[in-house]
């Protein structure tokens, strides 16, 4: 009997979005690690969406924008769309300013 959902071998509902939590301050050296971690999670998932939870991000700056842009590229390479959760107005404004607001709605 099938429940209509596909489970990964790790016991995770593979149809659910992958959530990436970004907290504190992002520095450029964090970006490769964040992308590698997301890529590893995407390999074992059939998810079609990645949610970046940025509610605990303490600095809305270009390093954070760069991280989100790179995470988006990583997700898109695996056929996933990306979205933000709990983005503060200053981060949204900065994303809009650099022309990236629509990309990570």
pLDDT score, position 102: 83
Query: Distance of CA 94 to CAs 21, 31, 40, 59, 90, Å?
Result: 19, 18, 29, 11, 6
Report the number of secondary-structure helices (H) and strands (E) in the chain: 3, 3
- The model carries a pTM of 0.82
Residue 13: pLDDT band with limits 50, 70, 90: low
pLDDT score, position 65: 96
Give the integer Cα–Cα distance in Å for 104 and 88: 13
Three-class SS of residue 99? coil
Residue 14: pLDDT band with limits 50, 70, 90: low
Structural domains in the chain, CATH included, are 18-97 (3.30.750.24)
Residue 82: pLDDT band with limits 50, 70, 90: very high
């Amino acid at each position: 009997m099938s429940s209509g959902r596909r489970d990964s071998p790790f016991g995770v509902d593979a149809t659910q979005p992958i959530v990436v939590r970004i907290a504190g301050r992002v520095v450029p050296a964090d970006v490769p690690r964040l992308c590698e971690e997301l890529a590893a999670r995407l390999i074992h998932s059939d998810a079609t969406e990645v949610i970046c939870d940025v509610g605990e991000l303490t600095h809305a700056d270009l390093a954070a924008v760069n991280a989100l842009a790179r995470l988006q590229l990583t997700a898109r390479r695996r056929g996933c769309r990306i979205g933000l959760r709990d983005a503060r107005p200053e981060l949204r404004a900065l994303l809009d300013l650099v022309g990236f607001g629509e990309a990570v709605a």
